[in-house]
Structure 1
Amino acid sequence: MEHFTIPLPEILHRRAREQGDRLAFRFLADGTPEGAVDWTYGDLARNAAVVAAELAGPRAEGNPRPEGTRVLLAVDPGLHYVASLFGILAAGATAVPSFPPAGRRAAERFLAIVADSAPDTVIASAWQAAEAAELARRLPADRRPRRWIFVDDAFFADAAAGPGELPALSTDPALLQYTSGSTGDPKGIVLTHDNLISNCEVLQRNMGPDPARIGLSWLPPYHDMGLMGTIMLAVHGGWPLVMMSPVHFVQRPVRWLRAVSEYGVTISVAPNFAFDMCVDGVSDDELDGLDLGSLRQLYCGAEPVLKATLDRFRDRFARHGYRESALIPCYGMAEATLFVSGKPDGTMMRTLRLDKAALERGTVQDAPAGAGAVANVVSCGAVAHGHEALIVDARTRRPLPDGTVGEIWVRGPNVAAGYFGRPVPTAETFSASPAGADGGGAPADGGPVADADYLRTGDTGFLRDGELYVTGRLKDVIVIAGRNLYPQDIETSALAAHGELRRAAAFPVRPSGGAESLVVVAELRRAGRRDAAELAAIREAVIAAVTAGHAVRPSGVHLGPPGTVPTTTSGKVRRGAARIAYERGTLKRLAPARSGPDDRAAPAAADEPVGTVSR
């Protein structure tokens, strides 16, 4: 593997020395330009140096040197977060990003990460000081952080008089990036400085040069896409990044679009669901004067990229300057630092119209003109330079030819070192070898990849004409009557069946003594009481749409209020959690309308029973 010798703290140090007065970050504190706060590279370096110095602490207090220690970072999105991150890295410590413990679920995840990573220090926003003692009390004694540091404007007030030099130590690992799935058992992915720089290099290559680049991100900085895909990338590339809190985007999605227009943003990034939110959650009145013409690169990833969603976004915003050529579908994961593949700059997005029945058998066949059963699969572009993607039969581990669906395996310098403190899962996931092969295959864009084990992504897909197409998660594939059904396709059909639905999860169940069958859980856009007839009509519409589109009739449809479908902290549907809650009968249910003695019929209309389910 090529060794990258200039870590991110050193890059920031150089930018502060040579371009100290240039804008680095602009944070929209309330989601609008009126609340904007600007930091130059000099400002960021000085504030990061304050954090690094605080981590080192007076030697007389017996503080250990920060190099090699773990520091959990639970600061709110914004400039204080960025300064704390670079301060940790500059001190030579390992940063452990975490969602701030605001609310029950977030607190549970925070505690799970602390218990797993055992950090020496926690850096948090000042408002969390009142909660620290109670959070520490809920941890085992040997897992309680030795020290808490609380940051706010006052903490950084003396930054100008603080350390003049930003230290630039670079001990590994640089980062423990926790996966966004399970709350109770999160896994920390060990990322080195080489991983972080490699990810920046391949993304920069995919983006191409642009001396006038201006970025924008509302993504949570605790997740790989928001952290490695925006904050670190902007410092590495030397272009300004406009930031806002994800809360402000969710409250009013138009704020994202307005910021693009206000600041002439040229590059931004969002998951698939954000495009739907913009179409459904932005009124025509809010679009007056909107100009998206500056946007020349819009990355879409982090969850399945759906053509129907992208088409809706194009149709709604083309009149406001949005160009479909700007869209860059991409694929990545935290185990590969972030970026695995993406549409190269200057090319058009590819979509295949495939024969659905053939795809269910694992074969890629173009659908003939006029065919009814069609799957529209979006290309996630070319594999990152210097990396290789291999499609493998997950059961036999044999490499598969182009045009055949299998598990996606990846290798190259972006691939992480493994899971923190978990040798068995690390060996299973990061040390895969194809059966009957010596690791063969050629990397993308030429140039050999040194012999190395493959990362098993757990995702399914295929290669065609040098591009990667992702079809789903291996563990989520629904196998019924020998057919491979992809849950995101079923969920898309279910949501299109009725305008009242906003999120869905499809998964298989196996009644005692019966064959595997399909269940769909969907949540309505609005809370409130519904009468039995209305719920029955929605349920029948879902059944009809799924049956017509996929030739399988759901044996159960559960309708619930907003929040019924479990999601990760980054908004991805947790289908396994939905299945468990369905089997246990713990999914949220809609309250019946108070319209008379037939109220009791509402639950039956909302949820068709499927019998006892074996585990």
Structure 2
Amino acid sequence: MMDMSLTANAAAAIRAHARSTPERTALIIVDDLEGDGGDRRVSFAQLDAEARRIGAWLQARYPVGERVLLLYPTGFGFAAALVGCLYAGMIAVPAPLPGRYPHERSRALRIAENASVSALLTDTTNHDTVLAWAQAVGLTDPPLLATDSDVVPDADSWSPRELDRDALAVLQYTSGATGEPRGVMVSHGNLLHNVESQRRAFGLTAQTRLGGWVPLHHAMGLFGHLLPALMVGGGCVLMQPAAFIRHPHRWLSMIDRYELYASAAPDFAFEMCRARVTDSQLSGLDLSRWRIAINGAERIHAETVAAFVARFTSAGLRDDVVCPSYGLSEATLFVSADPFRRPVVTWVDEHGLEQQRFVPAEAGAALVSCGTPRDVEVLIADPATGEALSPGSVGEIWLRGPSVSRGYWRDDAPTGTTSTTDGYVRTGDLGTLHEGELYVTGRTAELLAVDGRCLYPQEIERTLRAQVPGLGIISAVFTVPLAGPGSEHALVVVSEVNGRPTEDRLRHLADEISRTLTREFGISPGTTVLLRRGGVRRATSGKVKRPVMRRLFLDGELDAVHSDRAPSMVAAS
């Protein structure tokens, strides 16, 4: 088995499989899980040949280190372009296709401008759409190439590039769930170290297939599925994210049909499967070969994990398959996990948690362990002072190690907000280490200060989802300042609703939200906003974009089907 620590760069790791096992399947692109076929299989030799063609085109035009924007749907085109960039010594910049919605088009433009890309790559199917977008936003200087066209040269035109481990491989733009996306500078060394950590932690081999539906421009899809599969050699199975959102059971069907060893998704995906997979769909599943179901990318809820396992036990799912984990782009994804065991849940005192203390108790808030940190140093620090906190304190999670990136591309943030002089990177996540395991409680930017208490929006959202029937599974809770002197803030609850939005039903739901908050948390909402399904903005990982929803609320841009505002509340603009 290849040891990534002995490999020169990420490109060399992938090329080694093209040489030693050229006919082994590198990719399976799933199109149809309802019929008898509908997939495309690509060998390592085919991937290597296409990557060398793209690499040759790039080499002929640009010096090592230029940034190249990748605008593809999930599939072979993206994988070939990514590997082609690695082969040519370019820095790949994955981005979502500029879709029909303004925020999607704006995000792609901001990434292209921040990275100062030298070229745009896409496929022939999306070429005209990307071209129209580029012309509309004035992005006309970088050339646009459809990499599956005849313009791309022969693979033999490519020549190997000598790259060291410090060379940048990817600018991975953060999801933007809590602010403006920033490009994390991921080096070849970061990739090699993190994939090696995953290989050892999860037992990955050339016989273990990975895959899933998470978009490839997101860290979980790129660093958790595609690149580990290609670098270790087990191959990757991919499906379109939209297919999962429309039909959650297709993710599980893919795991069954293609015998996936490991597949990752955010917590909300497990809840969607539990809630929307029918008995008929369940009866046709065999999940006994699924060994690692990585749950990460957002706050993990103990009840979601337990309910998912209970729902799919009859399909052969083992109770040690769901693997809570912690990771982020700044650490090239993987930070902590303990696979092949039942999830560990610790009950902690809720009042202590409000005071940033982690106090185990007989009852209270159920926190899920994200496992043991792997090959990375973790420091729990005071987010205001940067000082290390004593055991039992909840603070900001800081990371240091070979997988941790060197920072953000063109980072204009004030000194000390993204790293420290000791080489740690600040994650913006809150948590603690307890008995050697990492517990994540929320994000510093999302913590709510209400009546002198610190509350976590995820806990409020979870409680409302569980106790108010008729609400959708997606909601966003945040605070806004009240007009006038002082620093008082009012709580705003924004939630999607299921079913027909009749006036009486919506008024009842708003009343139930208020009653539940008063009963469970001793607080009242300043405003309750109900939206149709799909109205709450989420990042590509599925994370709720609470800061974005807060801005839309303040700007009066939410398309509400119902809104209740307390008489005393006048939000400051």
Q: Amino acid of the residue matched to residue 512 of structure 1? A: A
Alpha-carbon separation, structure 1, partners of 2:83 and 2:385 = 44
Q: Which runs of 5+ in 2 are unaligned?
A: none
Query: Could you tell me which residue of structure 1 aligns to residue 82 of structure 2?
Result: 85
Alpha-carbon separation, structure 1, partners of 2:47 and 2:111 = 27
Instruction: Summarize the Cα distance change of 1:488–1:607 in structure 2 as closer, same or farther, 3 Å threshold.
Output: same
TM-score, normalising length: structure 1: 0.87
Of the three residues 168, 173, 181, the one matched with 2:176 is 181
TM-score, normalising length: structure 2: 0.93
Structure 1 segment 119-518 matched on structure 2, within 5 A: 119-139=117-137, 144-152=140-148, 155=150, 162-163=155-156, 167-170=160-163, 172-181=167-176, 185-208=180-203, 212-343=207-338, 345-368=339-362, 371=363, 374-385=364-375, 387-425=376-414, 427-433=415-421, 452-502=422-472, 503-513=474-484, 515-518=488-491
Query: Could you tell me which residue of structure 2 aligns to residue 612 of structure 1?
Result: 570
Structure 1 segment 505-544 matched on structure 2, within 5 A: 505-513=476-484, 515-526=488-499, 529-531=501-503, 533-544=504-515
Maintained 8 Å contact 1:4/1:197: no
Maintained 8 Å contact 1:31/1:249: no
Maintained 8 Å contact 1:268/1:299: yes
Query: Could you tell me which residue of structure 2 aligns to residue 14 of structure 1?
Result: 16
CA RMSD of aligned residues (A): 2.3
Maintained 8 Å contact 2:70/2:82: yes
Maintained 8 Å contact 1:418/1:430: yes
The farther-off stretch of 316-325 and 548-557 is: 548-557
Q: Secondary structure at the match of 1:479?
A: strand
**Per-residue Cα deviation, 1:546-585 (whole angstroms, up to 9, x for no partner):** 2222222223221121233222233211111222222233
The farther-off stretch of 261-270 and 455-464 is: 261-270
**Per-residue Cα deviation, 1:84-129 (whole angstroms, up to 9, x for no partner):** 1101110111111010112123221111111111211110121332
Query: Could you tell me which residue of structure 2 aligns to residue 49 of structure 1?
Result: 52
Q: Give, in angstroms, the shift of residue 498 of structure 1.
A: 2.5
Query: Could you tell me which residue of structure 2 aligns to residue 100 of structure 1?
Result: 97
Q: Give, in angstroms, the shift of residue 366 of structure 1.
A: 2.0
Q: Amino acid of the residue matched to residue 131 of structure 1? A: T
Alpha-carbon separation, structure 2, partners of 1:67 and 1:328 = 39
Alpha-carbon separation, structure 1, partners of 2:142 and 2:259 = 45
User: In the alignment, does 2:115 pair up with 1:117?
Assistant: yes
Alpha-carbon separation, structure 2, partners of 1:431 and 1:365 = 29
Maintained 8 Å contact 1:29/1:78: no
Maintained 8 Å contact 1:297/1:326: yes
Q: Give, in angstroms, the shift of residue 400 of structure 1.
A: 1.0
User: In the alignment, does 2:27 pair up with 1:39?
Assistant: no
Alpha-carbon separation, structure 2, partners of 1:167 and 1:230 = 25
Q: Amino acid of the residue matched to residue 100 of structure 2? A: G
Instruction: Summarize the Cα distance change of 1:54–1:30 in structure 2 as closer, same or farther, 3 Å threshold.
Output: farther
**Per-residue Cα deviation, 1:59-95 (whole angstroms, up to 9, x for no partner):** xxxxx33422111111111111111110111011111
Q: Give, in angstroms, the shift of residue 285 of structure 1.
A: 1.4
Alpha-carbon separation, structure 1, partners of 2:243 and 2:219 = 20
Q: Amino acid of the residue matched to residue 331 of structure 1? A: Y
Alpha-carbon separation, structure 1, partners of 2:131 and 2:386 = 49
**Per-residue Cα deviation, 1:420-468 (whole angstroms, up to 9, x for no partner):** 122545x4344325xxxxxxxxxxxxxxxxxx41111111111100001
Percent of pairs with identical residues: 33
Instruction: Summarize the Cα distance change of 1:522–1:56 in structure 2 as closer, same or farther, 3 Å threshold.
Output: same
Q: Amino acid of the residue matched to residue 524 of structure 2? A: R
Q: Give, in angstroms, the shift of residue 472 of structure 1.
A: 0.1
Instruction: Summarize the Cα distance change of 1:211–1:418 in structure 2 as closer, same or farther, 3 Å threshold.
Output: closer
